[in-house]
Amino acid sequence: MELKEDQLNEWRARGCLHLQRFFDPSKLAAWTDELAEWPETPGRWMKYFEPAADGGDPRMLCRVENFLEYHEGWRGLLHDPGLLRVLEQLFGEPAVLFKEKINFKQAGGSGFTAHQDAPAFAAFGQRFHITAMVSIDASNPGNGCLEMAYGRHQSGLLEMDEGQSLAQRVIEGERWEPVLTEPGDLVLFGSFLPHRSGANRSDAPRRAAYLTYNGVSEGERRDAYYEDKRRVFPPEIERVPGRDYSNTGMYNIGNPIQT
């Protein structure tokens, strides 16, 4: 998969590249259902929950992370040669997986406040990451699609609030554009591109995989990432009773996950 000059120009100008129907969508939903059905199990995949915004279900599955080792289909996609070739062209060197997650955003699930990913990812001595968002369900403003401030990846770290989301006056000054996707679409964006998303006001889930890579020259830090995340912000099943997990550090920026 060789990118064309106009695609590379789109990447440079917007900090984002949307490749429609990059993956065969036929298996994505079934693979995701399999992850959702896995029981919460200490030390393995990591499941996180959120309360429904309308006060209904207090514990909706909103995320599964760290599934590379456990799911053959997703493992194949994470190492898909076409995806890795695209990433190599964007990084200018081969890509290495940093982390992987699926956001479920069930009907009634909340949105994500505007943020840049760089502050959360940079703690492992790396400078730049690219996230490959794979659309599992179609996404649109009604079910909480991504919204991007295209072009603002070139401004470095923007002003943030104490929770490391973007400061309100930055949010108000940006132009937010919705990213409409169909199942199988691939949306690549760099870790400095501001983004956010709304709540899911539809009656079906809006699932999307966020697969984050770094350039090989910045090392392999995936194990270190999950080791530290498990310590600071573990899934509920791994929490030690009585211990305070309210300081989630860089692991819950802009997220609706319950702490």
Q: x/- string (CB under 6 A) for ligand AKG, residues 72-111? A: -------------------------------x-x------
As measured in angstroms, the least distance from the Cβ of 142 to ligand AKG is: 13
CB atoms within 10 A of CB 22: 20
Minimum distance from CB of 5 to ligand AKG (Å)? Answer: 29
What single-letter DSSP state applies at residue 139?
A: B
Integer CA distances (angstroms), 71 to 36, 44, 78, 144, in order: 12, 11, 10, 26
**Binding status of residue 229 toward ligand AKG by CB under 6 A:** no
Residue 189 binds ligand AKG, judged by CB under 6 A: no
Is residue 22 at the binding interface for ligand AKG, with CB under 6 A as the rule?
no
Of the pair 105, 153, the CB lying nearest ligand AKG is at 105
Q: Which of 15, 51, 108, 144 binds ligand AKG (CB under 6 A)?
A: 144
Near ligand AKG by CB under 6 A: residue from 78, 97, 102, 208: 208
Q: Is the dihedral of CA 64, 70, 74, 79 positive or negative?
A: positive
Cα 203 to Cα 33, 94, 184: the distances in Å are 17, 40, 21
Q: Which amino acid is at 133?
A: M
Binding status of residue 195 toward ligand AKG by CB under 6 A: yes
User: DSSP strand E in 7-135: where?
Assistant: 16-19, 46-50, 60-65, 95-103, 112-115, 129-135
| Shortest distance in whole angstroms from residue 199 CB to ligand AKG | 9
Stretch 108-137 residues interacting with ligand AKG (CB under 6 A) = 112
> In this structure, are residues 180 and 96 in contact, taking their beta carbons and an 8 Å threshold?
no
Residue 181 is a binding residue for ligand AKG (CB under 6 A): no
Nearer to ligand AKG, 210 or 213 (CB): 210
Nearer to ligand AKG, 80 or 147 (CB): 147
Distance CA 143, CA 130 (A): 24
Please give the backbone phi and psi of residue 79, each rounded to the nearest 5 degrees, phi first.
-110, 15
Can you tell me the distance from the alpha carbon of 31 to that of 71, in angstroms, rounded to the nearest whole number?
8
Instruction: Give the residue at shortest CB distance from ligand AKG.
Output: 197
| Residues that bind ligand AKG in the complex, under the rule CB under 6 A | 103, 105, 112, 144, 146, 195, 197, 208, 210, 254
